[in-house]
Structure 1
Amino acid sequence: FLPQVKVVFDRLKMPYFVTRGNHDMVSRETWKQTWGMETNHIFEKGNTGFILLDNSNEKGEYVCPDLAWFEEKLKAFANKKSVFIFMHISSRKWTKYGIDCPEVNDLIDKMPNVKAVFHGHDHDEDNMKASEEKVNHFWDGHFAGSWGTAYKGYRIVESNEFGSFNTYQYNPTEQKEINNFALTMPQDPAYPKNRN
């Protein structure tokens, strides 16, 4: 089914990147052959780094991401203004189907430029949770499958040159934004001046 999905994604008028989920159940080789990228990969746009982590395997089991690879990439992006991380399954046991990866979470929480972590997997989650270190984790509900949120949608993230970002779920059937969340950085002129 992945080649058929790629045909659809290739119609997008923008670049796209994908992470392997537990239902994909393909080898790393098949993934790379299909998508042209590894199951773990990075890219950057301007002063923003993006890290896409694989936390499933060929059998569909939930696994913690490759810690050494992840740490290396976080260090490579240490001077970026913002870093966004994407992994299908939450690395915190916040949800029924999350997994507990404390070493991964420690790395995320220690990097001041990590602005957000994005997850899929939990079809009934379309919200945000913050770690004690104030790193925001977002879920995007689902756009496939027959269980979960009452709608099928996706998350939109808008970022600016100051590192501020706005994110929300979008329900394309009702053409409606859901659970909008904004993070405004102190260097952004839109940042409230009377904030303590």
Structure 2
Amino acid sequence: MQRRNFLRDLSCSALLLLANGGIKPLQAAGLLSAQAPDRFRFAITSDGHYGQPKTSYDDFYREICKAINAFHQRSPLQFTVANGDLFHDQPAFLEAAANALKPIATPLYVTKGNHDMVSDTRWKEVWKQDVNQAVELGDNILLLGTTSDEKGTYLSPNTDWFAEQFKKYSSAKNIFLFFHITPIKWTQHAVDATAFQKLLKEQKNVRAAFNGHDHQEDGVKMFGSIPFLFDGHFGGSWGVNYRGFRVVEILPDNSLLTYMMSPVEKMAELSIYNSL
């Protein structure tokens, strides 16, 4: 199997990504020692689709909040990202979706997806966050960007905005990217954002990128040395056969350990070794 196809097909197997670009499948059980309580750790979930007809969206939101909080009690999280499609098309559902995520006990950052069909101004009024925002957490920088507009158009991340942030944080240890729609045409629902791809190739400290949107994806795809990690979905009417969230842990050597919670059992554990 060719390397690219192998990565596209990867979902629930464990994987070791080496600094030289080599790929080694591993057994998830016993891969690394037990979680350290003081480790820098965060969660990502996406695609809640609050308000989608014929779905139990209130239940989905209660379950994801309960699961993230239970995890946070055992293994503290620095923050959670809700990575787009937080409501389903109708602007009237925006505030209800925001209120439904309020029980999450960690700091919460959000991105705007194609089903979040409101203006950028209205989004900021409710979430108190810009659609493109940078968050500084010590040596780790979060860059969260929109990939859609009020009409639900599929868009590239804002290349000019990201270029400014990459320049500003060129000396940061790690930059983590979050946007709803994948900017590389790996999947049917991605966009081929060639200018953004070119910009990414020039960066040395982008540690990982996270996207939702493709509910059937819960694995990793590599863009050069940058892993793009998917997290399935926690709501909506289709996708992987569980509703959960992804956890990422930074290890002492700056490698990444990441796995899916489904939502209460660990699965799809990956170890991404430091390539910086």
Q: TM-score normalised to the size of structure 1? A: 0.89
Secondary structure at the aligned position of 1:5 is classed as: helix
* 1:31 paired residue number: 123
* 2:254 paired residue number: 163
Query: Would you identify which runs of 4 or more consecutive aligned residues in structure 1 move more than 4 Å?
Result: none
Structure 1 segment 172-187 matched on structure 2, within 5 A: 172=263, 175-185=264-274
State whether residues 174 and 207 of structure 2, in contact with CA within 8 Å, keep that contact through their aligned partners in structure 1. yes
Residue 186 of structure 1, CA deviation: 7.2
Which of these residues, 211, 215, 231, is aligned with residue 140 of structure 1? 231
* 1:69 paired residue number: 161
* 2:7 paired residue number: none
2:129 is aligned with 1:59: no
Identity %: 36
Secondary structure at the aligned position of 1:4 is classed as: helix
Secondary structure at the aligned position of 1:71 is classed as: helix
Residue 84 of structure 1, CA deviation: 0.5
In structure 2, how many angstroms separate the alpha carbons of the residues matched to 1:184 and 1:126? 19
* 1:190 paired residue number: none
In structure 2, how many angstroms separate the alpha carbons of the residues matched to 1:51 and 1:97? 22
Residue 160 of structure 1, CA deviation: 4.1
More moved, 95-104 vs 160-169:
160-169
Residue 66 of structure 1, CA deviation: 1.5
In structure 2, how many angstroms separate the alpha carbons of the residues matched to 1:87 and 1:72? 17
Over 3 Å counting, the alpha-carbon distance change for 1:153 and 1:7 in structure 2 is same
* 1:194 paired residue number: none
Structure 1 segment 10-25 matched on structure 2, within 5 A: 10-25=102-117
Q: How many residues in Structure 1 have an aligned counterpart in Structure 2?
A: 184
More moved, 19-28 vs 163-172:
163-172
State whether residues 126 and 138 of structure 1, in contact with CA within 8 Å, keep that contact through their aligned partners in structure 2. yes
In structure 2, how many angstroms separate the alpha carbons of the residues matched to 1:26 and 1:162? 42
State whether residues 85 and 117 of structure 1, in contact with CA within 8 Å, keep that contact through their aligned partners in structure 2. yes
2:199 is aligned with 1:107: yes
Which of these residues, 222, 226, 229, is aligned with residue 130 of structure 1? 222
In structure 2, how many angstroms separate the alpha carbons of the residues matched to 1:77 and 1:24? 29
Residue 185 of structure 1, CA deviation: 2.6
Matched to 1:87, the amino acid is: F
Which of these residues, 196, 209, 231, is aligned with residue 117 of structure 1? 209
Specify which structure has the higher proportion of helix. Answer: 2
State whether residues 109 and 135 of structure 1, in contact with CA within 8 Å, keep that contact through their aligned partners in structure 2. no
State whether residues 147 and 181 of structure 2, in contact with CA within 8 Å, keep that contact through their aligned partners in structure 1. yes
Please provide the CA RMSD for this pair.
1.5
State whether residues 128 and 137 of structure 1, in contact with CA within 8 Å, keep that contact through their aligned partners in structure 2. yes
In structure 2, how many angstroms separate the alpha carbons of the residues matched to 1:106 and 1:94? 16
Secondary structure at the aligned position of 2:267 is classed as: strand
State whether residues 125 and 140 of structure 1, in contact with CA within 8 Å, keep that contact through their aligned partners in structure 2. yes
State whether residues 81 and 163 of structure 1, in contact with CA within 8 Å, keep that contact through their aligned partners in structure 2. no
> For structure 2, which runs of at least 5 residues remain unmatched after alignment?
1-92
Larger RCO: 1 or 2 (CA < 8 Å, sep 6+):
2
In structure 2, how many angstroms separate the alpha carbons of the residues matched to 1:76 and 1:13? 30
Residue 165 of structure 1, CA deviation: 1.7
In structure 2, how many angstroms separate the alpha carbons of the residues matched to 1:94 and 1:183? 20
Residue 125 of structure 1, CA deviation: 0.5
In structure 2, how many angstroms separate the alpha carbons of the residues matched to 1:7 and 1:98? 29
Q: Deviations over 1:2-53 (max 9, x none)?
A: 2122223222221010000111101001100010011111101110111011
Q: TM-score normalised to the size of structure 2? A: 0.64
Matched to 1:93, the amino acid is: K
Matched to 1:46, the amino acid is: G
Secondary structure at the aligned position of 1:30 is classed as: helix
